[in-house]
Chain A
Amino acid sequence: MKYMLLIHAAADQEPTCTVEDWMAHEREMRDAGVLVSGHSLADLVTATTVQVGPDGKRTVTDGPFAETREVLGGYTVIDVPDLDAALEWAAKCPGSRDGGAVVVRPIAEFGL
């Protein structure tokens, strides 16, 4: 079963974890054979939003800029037997600390 871990950082708190922490976490997932894919996202100031209206007109805007306190900073997709295993990996993710949060979403399966 695949789960996406959406890694949100607190907008108002500096993380204390280091690059080494992230690399160790990735290595651990790789060694356990659960890592499917994952990326971290560039700074939020680089984000652009696209919407297409009912008339087909395209709107492109700068942002979104956080009114929210949490900013999506990256994701990981893992393949594990059940939700408990996914929550275990989410808790190990450095992004779950320092006011950050990891949202665990099962990846939808269509058919068999």
Chain B
Amino acid sequence: MDVGQVFREERGRLLATLVKRFGDLDLAEEVTSDAIEAALRHWPVDGVPDRPGAWLLTTARRKAVDRLRRDQVHAARLALLQVEVDRSDPPAGGALPDERLELFFTCAHPALPAEDRGALVLRFLAGFTTPEVARAYLVPVTTMQQRIVRAKKKISQARIPFRVPDPHELPERLPGVLQAVYSIFTEGYAARRADLAGEAIRLARILRSLLPGEREVTGLLALLLLVHARRDARADLLEDQDRTRWDRDMIDEGSALAEQALTGGHGPYGVQAAINALHDEAPDFARTDWPQIVALYDVLLRLAPSPVVALNRAAAIAVRDGAEAGLALLDELAGEPKLRDYHPYRAARADLLHRLGRDAEAAQAYREAIALAGTGTEQDFLRRRLAAVEEKT
């Protein structure tokens, strides 16, 4: 196994423990790196210790004491820290603490900009370097550096705490954490980076192991698995995809989790997971349970109203009741500001117009979609659709 990968796994956990102990993100980051560097030097020579996690934690704490000893400003805190080190060396054989949940809630704190929360989760919990985070979000390294520095400054100076919210605060705070992980997945999905989408799934698994009783955490993991299961076939529209290329194991796991997420209640992630489970389990496009999908979209629209959900619902109704009915619903959404520059809206309209034989209008709608589509792959796909329509006219 790749050593870098091992350390990426350990890194988030070690960092979380140290942040909790020191209450200082900068110091925790520095000594996490120190400890991992030391491990890279010693382990190849002395062998991997019996309890690598405990070794890293002890080393990191000693490094922290060294650093603080050199730093006069922090001299006062040294006394405190020394006591901590003496008192809390991990007992032999005892379970190491896992404080990653605290760190999740800090990274996704509502006082931080929404667009930075996913980046912070990647940086601090997934062990990404800043250049790797920058690549994930397709921004220059310096830009990402500034965003992370600004966020860290706010965490430390405004004293955003490292704590798991009380149960009564969870309904308000958990969606932010889920959204941060989901945003990492959608970045990976949009950029067609399976590694990044896979990282989001790994983070959702960690989150679920920390909050096993929260149905929306289970729903999020289910949703990610059920969408990711189609990754190898997604160059085509859902109706044209080669379903033998879908990942069966992932679908089975996702479906079981979706069912769990919707037992005794429901939330938006669980409902979206259920919609994707119906797609993934259908033998083909025509024999998909469209009435059930429309019903789930109705539920989703009540739970989390948005023009994009309304668009997806209209597309499902177009299959259930015909293109005419779908197009009427899409045209009702024409005034939505959120959909004006959203190319899937134009593309969905184009498809329905094409199906109704209104090819001149369809071609126009495809051209609008192409102008709005961001990535090359997306544009190429729409161009092929346009060419097919133009050929007929």
Contact = CB atoms under 8 A, between A and B. Distances in A.
Contact of B111 (A1, A81, A87, A112): A87
B369 to A, nearest CB: 38
A83 B158 contact: yes
A83 B73 contact: no
Given A112-B73, A112-B76, A82 B161 contact: yes
Nearest to B76: A112
Interface in A1-17: 1
A74 interface: no
A84 B158 contact: no
A112 B163 CA distance: 24
A83 B160 contact: yes
Contact of A84 (B73, B76, B157, B163): B163
Interface residues of B, number: 11
Query: Looking at chain A's contact residues, is the secondary structure mostly helix, strand, loop, or mixed?
Result: mixed
A106 B161 contact: no
Nearest to B73: A112
Contact of A106 (B76, B157, B163, B165): B157
Given A83-B111, A87-B111, A1 B76 contact: no
B159 interface: yes
B159 A82 contact: yes
A35 B283 CA distance: 65
Most buried by B among A1, A84, A87: A84
Contacts, number: 24
B165 to A, nearest CB: 8
Interface in B64-87: 73, 76
Contacts of A1: 159
Contact of B161 (A84, A104, A112): A84
Interface in B140-186: 157-161, 163, 165
A82 B183 CA distance: 27
Nearest to A80: B159
Contacts of B157: 106
Interface string A80-112: 011110010000000000000000101000001
Contacts of A87: 111
Nearest to B161: A82
B93 to A, nearest CB: 34
Nearest to B110: A87
Given A83-B111, A87-B111, A106 B159 contact: yes
A95 to B, nearest CB: 19
A27 to B, nearest CB: 23
Nearest to A87: B111
A87 B165 CA distance: 13
Contacts of A104: 158
B161 A83 contact: yes
B55 to A, nearest CB: 32
Nearest to B173: A84
Contact of B158 (A81, A106, A112): A106
Contacts of A106: 157-159
A83 B105 CA distance: 13
Contacts of B158: 83, 104, 106
Nearest to A88: B169
B328 to A, nearest CB: 38
Contacts of B165: 84
Nearest to B162: A82
Most buried by A among B111, B159, B163: B159
A84 to B, nearest CB: 5
Contacts of A84: 160-161, 163, 165
A50 to B, nearest CB: 29
Contacts of A81: 159, 161
21 contacts: A1-B159, A81-B159, A81-B161, A82-B159, A82-B160, A82-B161, A82-B163, A83-B109, A83-B111, A83-B160, A83-B161, A84-B160, A84-B161, A84-B163, A84-B165, A87-B111, A104-B158, A106-B157, A106-B158, A106-B159, A112-B76
Given A82-B159, A104-B158, A112-B76, 16 more contacts: A1-B159, A81-B159, A81-B161, A82-B160, A82-B161, A82-B163, A83-B109, A83-B158, A84-B160, A84-B161, A84-B163, A84-B165, A87-B111, A106-B157, A106-B158, A106-B159
Give 3 closest A-B pairs by Cβ, nearest first: A82-B161, A82-B159, A106-B158
